[in-house]
C-alpha cells in the first residue's frame, strides 16, 4: 500500500497533537516532519508522553519553515496554526505544489472582505481563496475534495451547526430567519495557550457565555448556511465555555416550514447522510461523552409543539470531528481513499 509523506506544522497545540496521534497510526501516511517553535529539538515522546512507544516517539520537532518542510519530502502539509500565520506557510507550499490541509480559519471564507470584518485584519493571501475547498465532507461532497490542493478544514462550532442545518436549508424545511443557536464547548477548544482565563481554577466549576453576539466562527457558519439556503442567512449564535476538556454540543432552535415535523427532518438527514459513516442520527439527546475521541457527530431532533418550533441537537469532539479527525477524513477523500482510513 503506497503511503503519503506528511508533515504537521504547529504540532504542539491541541489540534496539532491530535493530528500527530491520528496520522502516526494512519496506515497510508508516513510522518516525515513535525514542527513547533517552542518544542524544536525535543522528541515527540518528550513533548507528548502519550506517544512514547509509538513509531515516531524518537522523531525530533523542528523549527517551522517552508524550507525545512520542502526538504522533508512531505507532499502533504497539515497546518495547525493560528489564523494569519497559516497563510504564510500555505502560499509558498501551494506554489511548490504541496498539498495543504489547513485547520486555521485562513481559507474558510470565500470573501476576503468578510475575513477582514470578522478577523479585524486584511486577508493574508486572498489569491488562494478561489482554490480552497471548505472541507466539511458531509456538506461539500466528495467530488469537491478529490485531488484538492488546499483544504480549509472547518472549525468545531461550524461543524456542529452545519451538519444538522444544511440539509434542512437545502430542502427549505426551516425558515432561514428563525435560527437561534447555543453551543457549549470544552476548554481544549481555546487552544494550549498560557492564558489566565483558561487555567483550571478559572474554568472548573464555571459556566459562561462568551464571544456573543459576533463570534468569529459566525462568518463561516453564515457563509455555508447561506449557500445551502440560496439566500443570505443571519443567525443568533451564542458559544459557552464549560468545564470539560473535550466535547461540544449545539442546541439549535428553528421555525420549520409549513408541514415540517421531526419525521421530515429525520428523513432529510437520512437521505443526506445515508452514505456518511460519521454522521449518526440518534433518537436520544446527544451527549458529548459518546463522541469524544471519535470522528462522529451525533444529531437528533425534537418538536416543540407548544410553540411550533423544532429543536435540533448535535454533539461532537471539538478536537475530533471538530478539528483533527475531520481533517484526516477530508484528506482521505482528497487522496481517493476510504474516508474512514485511520479513523476507525
Q: How many residues bind a second copy (CB under 8 A)?
A: 76
Strands (DSSP E) contained in 61-141 are 76-79, 99-102, 133-134
Q: What is the dihedral of CA 119, 121, 126, 128, to 10 degrees?
A: -50
Residue from 16, 64, 247, 342 touching a second copy (CB under 8 A): that is 247
Least separation in angstroms between CB 156 and a second copy: 13
d(CA 114, CA 92): 24
When asked if residue 43 is in the footprint of a second copy (CB under 8 A), the reply is no
Distances 137 to 8, 21, 64, 133, 295 between C-alpha atoms, Å: 21, 21, 28, 10, 12
Stretch that binds a second copy, among 29-37, 75-83, 246-254, 331-339 (CB under 8 A): 246-254
Catalytic center residues: 156
Residue from 3, 52, 71, 95 touching a second copy (CB under 8 A): that is 52
Nearer to a second copy, 130 or 196 (CB): 196
When asked if residue 232 is in the footprint of a second copy (CB under 8 A), the reply is no
Least separation in angstroms between CB 30 and a second copy: 17
Contact between 159 and 321 under an 8 Å Cβ cutoff? The reply is: yes
Contact between 297 and 280 under an 8 Å Cβ cutoff? The reply is: yes
d(CA 38, CA 10): 9
CB neighbours (10 Å) of residue 206?
12
Q: What is the dihedral of CA 124, 63, 132, 28, to 10 degrees?
A: 180
Residue carrying the nine cell digits 421555525: 255
Nearer to a second copy, 177 or 271 (CB): 177
Residue from 2, 200, 258, 259 touching a second copy (CB under 8 A): that is 200
d(CA 98, CA 7): 11
Q: Which of residues 94-113 bind a second copy (CB under 8 A)?
A: none
Q: Which of residues 139-198 bind a second copy (CB under 8 A)?
A: 177, 180, 182, 184, 186-188, 192-196, 198
Binding string, residues 275-314; x marks residues near a second copy by CB under 8 A: --x--x-x-xxxxxxxxxxx-x-x---xxxxxx-x-x-x-
Least separation in angstroms between CB 247 and a second copy: 5
What is the distance between the terminal CA atoms of the chain, rounded to a whole angstrom?
18
Nearer to a second copy, 67 or 258 (CB): 258
When asked if residue 234 is in the footprint of a second copy (CB under 8 A), the reply is yes
What is the SS3 assignment for 299? Answer: strand
Q: Which of residues 11-40 bind a second copy (CB under 8 A)?
A: 14, 25
Which grid coordinates belong to 219?
A: 462568518
Residue from 63, 245, 263, 336 touching a second copy (CB under 8 A): that is 245
Contact between 316 and 156 under an 8 Å Cβ cutoff? The reply is: yes
Residue from 1, 2, 27, 53 touching a second copy (CB under 8 A): that is 53
Q: Which of residues 249-268 bind a second copy (CB under 8 A)?
A: 249, 251, 253
Amino acid at each position: 500500500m503506497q503511503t503519503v509523506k506528511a508533515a504537521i506544522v504547529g504540532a504542539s497545540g491541541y489540534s496539532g497533537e491530535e493530528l500527530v496521534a491520528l496520522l502516526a497510526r494512519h496506515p497510508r501516511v508516513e510522518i516525515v516532519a513535525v514542527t513547533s517553535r517552542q518544542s524544536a529539538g525535543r522528541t515527540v515522546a518528550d513533548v507528548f508522553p502519550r506517544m512514547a512507544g509509538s513509531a515516531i516517539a524518537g522523531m525530533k520537532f523542528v523549527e517551522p519553515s517552508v524550507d525545512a518542510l520542502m526538504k522533508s519530502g512531505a507532499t502533504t502539509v497539515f497546518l495547525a496554526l493560528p489564523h494569519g500565520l497559516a497563510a504564510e506557510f500555505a502560499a509558498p507550499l501551494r506554489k511548490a505544489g504541496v498539498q495543504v490541509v489547513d485547520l486555521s480559519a485562513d481559507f474558510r471564507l470565500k470573501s476576503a472582505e468578510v475575513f477582514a470584518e470578522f478577523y479585524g485584519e486584511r486577508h493574508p493571501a486572498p489569491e488562494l481563496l478561489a482554490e480552497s475547498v471548505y472541507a466539511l465532507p458531509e456538506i461539500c461532497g466528495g467530488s469537491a475534495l478529490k485531488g484538492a490542493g488546499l483544504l480549509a478544514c472547518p472549525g468545531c462550532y461550524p461543524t456542529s451547526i452545519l451538519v444538522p442545518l444544511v440539509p434542512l436549508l437545502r430542502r427549505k424545511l426551516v425558515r432561514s430567519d428563525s435560527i437561534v443557536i447555543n453551543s457549549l464547548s470544552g476548554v481544549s477548544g481555546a487552544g494550549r495557550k498560557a492564558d489566565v482565563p483558561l487555567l483550571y481554577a478559572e474554568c472548573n466549576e464555571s459556566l459562561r457565555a462568551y464571544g456573543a453576539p459576533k463570534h468569529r466562527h459566525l462568518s463561516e457558519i453564515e457563509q455555508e448556511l447561506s449557500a445551502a439556503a440560496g439566500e443570505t442567512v443571519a443567525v443568533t449564535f451564542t458559544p459557552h465555555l464549560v468545564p470539560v476538556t473535550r466535547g461540544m454540543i449545539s442546541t439549535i432552535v428553528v421555525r420549520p416550514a409549513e408541514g415540517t415535523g421531526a419525521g421530515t427532518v429525520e428523513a432529510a438527514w437520512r437521505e443526506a447522510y445515508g452514505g456518511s459513516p460519521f454522521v449518526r442520527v440518534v433518537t436520544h439527546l446527544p451527549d458529548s461523552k459518546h463522541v469524544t475521541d471519535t470522528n462522529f457527530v451525533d444529531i437528533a431532533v425534537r418538536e416543540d409543539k407548544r410553540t411550533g418550533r423544532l429543536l435540533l441537537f448535535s454533539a461532537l469532539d471539538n478536537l475530533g470531528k471538530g478539528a483533527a479527525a475531520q481533517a484526516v477524513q477530508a484528506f482521505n477523500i482528497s487522496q481517493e481513499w476510504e474516508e474512514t482510513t485511520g479513523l476507525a
